[in-house]
Amino acid sequence: MIYLLLIFIVLPVIEISLFIQFGDALGTVNTILLIFLTAGIGLYLVRQQGFHTLRKMQSEIQNQELPVRSLFDGFVILISGILLLIPGFFTDAIGFMGLIPVTRFFISKALISLVIQNRSNFAYRSKQDINDPIEGEFEEMDNKDEN
């Protein structure tokens, strides 16, 4: 619930305030051109790094290695591309951070630990739920045809 609040209320407020500040400093036309420029550069970098990550994944699979790190890198690159397509300077900054290999490494590492933690929590809950009785009502039905 808090994430939806951040995405739909706080993020647009941040973006609008940055649009106003950049518009005052650069002018309206230059601000709009800068938005298109960051989107174009970002998409070029996403495409370049996406293909690089795909080749790395294929190489790992051919060497019979699990491409876990490459999969998460690809996921971070995908999210970065989406953020770069959204008009705004704040989302562009976050998107560009996902395209820097050093920050992408730390983001991927955090995502991997989050997935592992959620998976172990799920397995622990599943083991607990096996022995819990299921409560409910039932009705016996006769399958014979009644005439």
CA distance 121 to 110: 16
What are the distances in angstroms from CA 20 to CA 1, 5, 12, 16, 31?
A: 28, 22, 12, 6, 9
Number of domains in the chain: 1
Per-residue tokens: 60:
């790992």
What CA–CA distance (Å, rounded) separates 89 from 34? 9
What gap in Å lies between CA 80 and CA 99, rounded to an integer?
7
- Does residue 143 carry a pLDDT above 90? no
Where are the strands (E) in 8-147, listed by range?
none
Domain extent for 52: 38-128
**Residue 111's pLDDT is what?**
83
Distance CA 41, CA 71 (A): 23
- Note the pLDDT tens digit of each residue in 62-104: 999 999 889 989 999 999 999 998 889 999 999 999 999 999 9
pLDDT of residue 102: 93
